[in-house]
Amino acid sequence: ERKTEKAQVDVSQYEILTKEGLENRHGVGPDIDEALGRTREAVVVPDGADGGDARPERKTEKAKFYLVREFEGHLRGIRAAQASEAAAETLEFTAGA
């Protein structure tokens, strides 16, 4: 008896999520919206969404997907900049007191 083993390949750099999936993972807020705005997106158009399908009952919503690692890189940068700004404001406040 021969067993077949499947190779485990890490392709996490290609993980994609919708906006809702990213918000579930990272929360909601202006920093999330800014990171989404900087991240490339892929739009999936189901059959019939372009008006060519004669069956109106078909769901025709377009779905946008984002590369998770790219989004998370942008989010880290935004949050680091916000933390630096907050630290600078704290230093200015304590220096002026």
pLDDT in tens, the chain (97 residues): 667 777 777 888 889 999 999 999 999 999 999 999 999 999 988 776 555 555 555 556 788 999 999 999 999 999 999 999 988 888 777 766 5
CA distance 62 to 66: 13
Handedness of CA 47, 52, 57, 41 (dihedral sign): positive
Within 13 Å and on the Cβ side, how many CA atoms surround 69? 5
CA distance 35 to 67: 11
Beta-carbon count within 10 A of 32 CB? 19
Two tokens at 17? Answer: 């999520």
pTM equals 0.70
**What's the one-letter identity of residue 57?**
E
